């Protein structure tokens, strides 16, 4: 039942204040400023023993893993990175006892992710799952994990599961941080930030008409560039992924700092840029990049926490804590891709050549 929405995708985007609240429910402890994640099946001593975190997943799950890796490094100060599950399993990875492996899957059935988990288990790796579908193959295979509780996701392109995965990673990062060196004050800051998310997502959803008009304005371009740095880079990657999978507009994501090492040659009025520009310590550097794009007559849509005269158009998103901002910055990009796809008359919920869950190799 699409609940009166024209597409499941829009329904699932619009549900996010509730789905994020469900991912958070019962898990934020305001007394000790910690996260309760009962399904991890690890005591504090074991939780402290990991020296690395390796995250695997496919497609949007992989991009949400990149957001998660950044959160874990920042809040828990454990080296963390994400990799596509298919690449991971085929390069005969070194599996170490002091690495915590995290597998991400909305469906819990993606074959490459499942096979990577099985390979890890065979080599004695400790694997947690961040999964939406309860009792799915990946959930059963893992040693423990975090369920998203986002409800069934029908549209092929992931939206609410992506957002809830990023929220689950914030909880995991808070948990790993608070058994290590994250201070109670910082723990409290993150707990309060997490609690603000559902209302802030509601606020972003009220901007839908503005974003729809921007999507129509930019959807005529043959391609788009998405740029961001550090926390903004996985957001840019997910924004580009959403646009290409449902609107079939070519989209490429780059770290903003890498533009000058190649893709700046592509910048012209025909290739607009979506720039993810949070108010963080990289703000000035990001604005400088916008100036460079502008000097090449590139059109710019900036998604951030303020307006800038360097950009042609700005979407101003409510500010949270810097570590949590990627969760909110992604949501306007979902609406942008959705309305671009609608404007171009695409089959939004079932894009050509794609399946919701890829259970074969
Ligand atoms: C893809 C879906 O094929 O599988 C994506 O189209 C999804 O939306 C990816 O991100 C991974 O799926 P899952 O279920 O493992 O998260």
pLDDT in tens, 327-357: 999 999 999 999 999 999 999 989 888 888 8
- Mean pLDDT over all residues of the chain? 96
Residue 74 burial by CB count (10 A; 0-12/13-18/19+): exposed, middle or buried? middle
Compute the average pLDDT of residues 278-303: 96
> Which of 104, 115, 162, 356 to mutate to test ligand 1, by most ligand atoms within 8 A of the CB atom?
356
What phi-psi label fits residue 33: left (phi over 0), alpha (psi between -120 and 50 degrees) or beta?
left
Looking at the predicted structure, is the pLDDT value of residue 22 above 80?
yes
Indicate if 217 belongs to the active site.
no
Q: What's the rounded Cα separation, in Å, for the pair 67 and 74? A: 11
- Identify the pLDDT of residue 115: 96
Looking at the predicted structure, is the pLDDT value of residue 1 above 80?
no
Compute the average pLDDT of residues 39-64: 96
User: Where residue 359 falls among pLDDT bands split at 50, 70, 90?
Assistant: confident
96, 122 Cβ separation under 8 angstroms:
no
Looking at the predicted structure, is the pLDDT value of residue 278 above 90?
yes
Does 358 contact ligand 1 (Cβ within 6 A)?
yes
Task: Provide the whole-model pTM.
Answer: 0.97
How far, in Å, is the centroid of ligand 1 from the Cα of 12?
15
Instruction: Give the percent of the chain with pLDDT over 90.
Output: 93
How far, in Å, is the centroid of ligand 1 from the Cα of 57?
8
Q: Which two tokens stand for residue 77?
A: 């100060």
Residue 241 burial by CB count (10 A; 0-12/13-18/19+): exposed, middle or buried? buried
User: Which atom of ligand 1 sits closest to the CA of residue 107?
Assistant: 14
Does 156 contact ligand 1 (Cβ within 6 A)?
yes
Does 58 contact ligand 1 (Cβ within 6 A)?
yes
Does 154 contact ligand 1 (Cβ within 6 A)?
no
Ligand 1: residue whose CA is nearest its atom 10: 60
pLDDT digits (tens, 9 = 90+) for 88-108: 999 989 999 999 999 999 999
Does 302 contact ligand 1 (Cβ within 6 A)?
no
CA atoms within 13 A on the CB side of 62: 15
Count CB atoms within 10 A of the CB of residue 112.
Answer: 23
């Amino acid at each position: 039942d699409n609940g009166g929405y024209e597409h499941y995708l829009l329904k699932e985007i619009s549900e996010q204040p509730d789905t994020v609240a469900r991912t958070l429910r019962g898990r934020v402890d305001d007394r000790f400023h910690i996260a309760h994640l009962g399904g991890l099946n690890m005591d504090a001593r074991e939780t402290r023993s990991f020296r690395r975190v390796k995250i695997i997943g496919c497609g949007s799950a992989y991009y949400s893993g990149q957001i998660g890796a950044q959160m874990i490094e920042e809040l828990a100060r454990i080296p963390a990175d994400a990799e596509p599950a298919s690449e991971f399993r085929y390069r005969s990875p070194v599996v170490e006892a002091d690495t915590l492996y995290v597998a991400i899957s909305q469906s819990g059935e993606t074959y490459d992710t499942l096979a990577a988990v099985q390979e890890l288990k065979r080599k004695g790796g400790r694997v947690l799952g961040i999964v939406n579908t309860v009792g799915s193959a990946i959930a059963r295979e893992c040693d423990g994990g975090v369920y998203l509780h986002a409800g069934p996701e029908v549209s092929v392109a992931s939206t609410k599961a992506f957002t809830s995965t990023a929220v689950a990673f914030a909880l995991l990062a808070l948990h790993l941080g608070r058994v290590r060196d994250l201070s109670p004050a910082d723990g409290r800051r993150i707990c309060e930030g997490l609690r603000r998310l559902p209302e802030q997502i509601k606020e972003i959803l009220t901007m839908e008409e503005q974003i729809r008009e921007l999507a129509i304005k930019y959807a005529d371009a043959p391609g788009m560039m998405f740029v961001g740095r550090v926390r903004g880079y996985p957001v840019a990657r997910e924004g580009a992924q959403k646009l290409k999978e449902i609107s079939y507009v070519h989209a490429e994501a780059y770290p903003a700092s890498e533009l000058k090492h190649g893709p700046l040659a592509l910048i012209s009025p025909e290739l607009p840029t979506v720039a993810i520009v949070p108010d963080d310590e990289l703000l000035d550097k990001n604005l400088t990049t916008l100036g460079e794009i502008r000097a090449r007559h590139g059109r710019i849509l900036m998604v951030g926490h303020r307006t800038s005269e360097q950009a042609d158009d700005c979407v101003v998103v409510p500010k949270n804590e810097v570590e949590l901002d990627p969760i909110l910055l992604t949501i306007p990009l979902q609406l942008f891709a959705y309305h671009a796809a609608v404007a171009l008359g695409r089959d939004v919920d079932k894009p050509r050549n794609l399946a919701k869950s890829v259970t074969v190799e």
